[in-house]
Amino acid sequence: MTRDWTDRRIELTVGNLLRAGVILSAIVVFTGACIYLVRHGFSPAGYQVFRGEPADLRTLPGILRSALHFSGRGIIQLGLVLLILTPVARVAFSILGFAEEHDRLYVIFTTVVLLILLYSLLGSGSAF
Amino acid sequence: MNILEFTLLVAMGSFVAGLLGALTGLGGGVVLVPLLTIFFKVDIRYAIGASLVSVIATSSGAAAAYVKEGFSNIRIGMFLEIATTLGALCGAFLATIVSTRALAIIFGLVLLYSAYLSRKPRTPEQRNLPPDPRATRLRLNGSFPSEEGIRFYNVQNVPTGFSLMFGAGALSGMLGIGSGAVKVLAMDQAMKIPFKVSTTTSNFMIGVTAAASAGIYLNRGYVDPGLAMPVMLGVLAGSLLGVHILIKAETNVLRWVFSLVIVALGAQMVYKGIAGTI
């Protein structure tokens, strides 16, 4: 029964963590949106042709740099990075939860998932 | 069209998609990519990048509400996420080598199939199945609160479910959708997990699956802030509102209408892919 109770506690904490991450990133994205629209709102929009984003909106150092220069697009992108990191934080936190329950099997499973996520963020062409 | 008008229109469209997705339980992400590519003439790669980001937002935003109900099973979710995240990596890789025309056709077929899945009558739930030794070893069996008190369930066919989850992850990574329909299919049909547990656990897994491919999309330059911003904020607002106003009586009609919309969009994606006008 202790296991069930701890499971519920982990799930509730994780649920709140996720919500907090989404709210934070939505606020950052919205702030960036205001700056972006005030500055560029009346320029023509064009997404028909795929060009790919410039380098400073593809890597974390570049995104941080352009956000610090109050670039609207940079701040939006920073908010999106926070959003992508929210489920990653959830997985990392779950490792602690399973460790607390001495559930070695699930500490291993969760670590594997975390490594896959980190590989996608760091390993492949490296956004971070 | 200037950026301000474009942003407001995309935000409104995404809001409606998120609202209908939440009300019908079919997910808003599935209509976003066709909406952006067919009506706003957005390149499908930008559309997929933006949709993927919004999928993380809706899944994570709704998680807290689902957790309180006590249906989701954190162990089933975490175990199967090994398969979905690996699948998502493969899917994101495939998306870069497959032509945009082929992407549109695959997308259309997935839309048609998920509309079929959502209309298909559910096979009655089998209860009191004997425990599968694999599931027992993996500690997947669980319980949830029901009207008749706490109900226990034994998970079946672990390898089949795991493989299907890999496929769900690959579709999610390639097309930028949550692929909740395939996830629920794997858990509910193959693994014989009760429907309520399947849907809530699936929602929990969608965010992690999408995050696995979102990193790759970001560093390939497929995530455009100007497009992802109205999509993410619109879908998030729509789906949060949808969860709150869920009224049982009207959802059946809504489900019908939304399924028809999905079929129409799916057919159009296939057509445009074949005609090469995407």
Chain B residues near residue A120 by CB distance under 8 angstroms: 85, 88-89, 92, 211-216
Distance from CA of A63 to the nearest CA of B (A): 11
Average pLDDT rounded to a whole number, residues B144-155: 86
CA gap A18, B60 in Å, rounded: 5
Q: Look at the block and give the residue holding tokens 């934070």.
A: A24
End-to-end distance of chain A based on CA atoms, in angstroms? 42
| pLDDT the model gives residue A34 | 96
Chain-chain contact of A19 with B79 (C-beta, under 8 angstroms): no
- Count the domains in chain B: 1
Average pLDDT rounded to a whole number, residues B208-214: 93
Q: What is the pTM of this model?
A: 0.90
| pLDDT the model gives residue B246 | 59
Chain B interface, best mutation among A47, A58, A115, by max B CB count within 10 A: A47
| pLDDT the model gives residue A2 | 47
DSSP character for A122? I
Chain B interface, best mutation among A117, A122, A126, by max B CB count within 10 A: A117
Residue B249 predicted with pLDDT over 50: no
Chain-chain contact of A42 with B2 (C-beta, under 8 angstroms): yes
Give the contacts of A96 (CB within 8 A, at least 6 positions apart): none
Q: Which residue positions in chain A have pLDDT lower than 70? A: 1-7, 123-128
Could you say which of B210, B211, B229 has the minimum Cβ distance to residue A76? B229
Domain containing B95: what range? 3-275
B97 in contact with A at a CB cutoff of 8 Å?
Answer: no
Minimum Cα–Cα distance from B233: chain A residue = A26
Consecutive H or E run containing A104: helix A104-118
Chain-chain contact of A120 with B138 (C-beta, under 8 angstroms): no
Chain-chain contact of A18 with B64 (C-beta, under 8 angstroms): yes
B263 in contact with A at a CB cutoff of 8 Å?
Answer: no
CA gap B267, A45 in Å, rounded: 28
Strand partners, B151: B144
Angle at B116 between CA B159 and CA B128, to 5 degrees: 45
| pLDDT the model gives residue B5 | 94
More confident residue, B191 or B253: B191
Chain B interface, best mutation among A83, A126, A128, by max B CB count within 10 A: A83
| pLDDT the model gives residue B252 | 72
**pLDDT of B181-206, one tens digit each?**
888 888 988 999 988 888 888 888 99
| pLDDT the model gives residue A107 | 96
Quote ipTM for the complex. Answer: 0.89
Q: What three-state secondary structure class fits B37?
A: helix
Contact B36, B176 (CB under 8 A): no
CA gap B217, B227 in Å, rounded: 14
Interface size A-B, in CB pairs within 8 Å, comes to 208
CA gap B113, B105 in Å, rounded: 12
| pLDDT the model gives residue A127 | 46
Strand partners, B144: B151
Locate all alpha helices (DSSP H) within chain B, ordered by sequence.
3-24, 29-34, 44-69, 74-97, 100-119, 133-137, 158-175, 180-184, 195-220, 225-244, 248-275
Minimum Cα–Cα distance from A62: chain B residue = B219
Chain-chain contact of B219 with A127 (C-beta, under 8 angstroms): yes
CA gap B185, B168 in Å, rounded: 10
Average pLDDT rounded to a whole number, residues B256-275: 88
CA gap B44, B19 in Å, rounded: 23
- Paired sense of beta strands B142-146 and B149-153, if any: antiparallel
Q: What three-state secondary structure class fits B149?
A: strand
Q: Please report the residues numbered 147 through 206 in chain B whose beta carbons come closer than 8 angstroms to any beta carbon of chain A.
A: none
**pLDDT of A2-17, one tens digit each?**
456 566 777 788 888 8
Residue B123 predicted with pLDDT over 80: no
Residue B44 predicted with pLDDT over 60: yes
CA gap A43, B120 in Å, rounded: 47
DSSP character for B2? B
| pLDDT the model gives residue B250 | 58
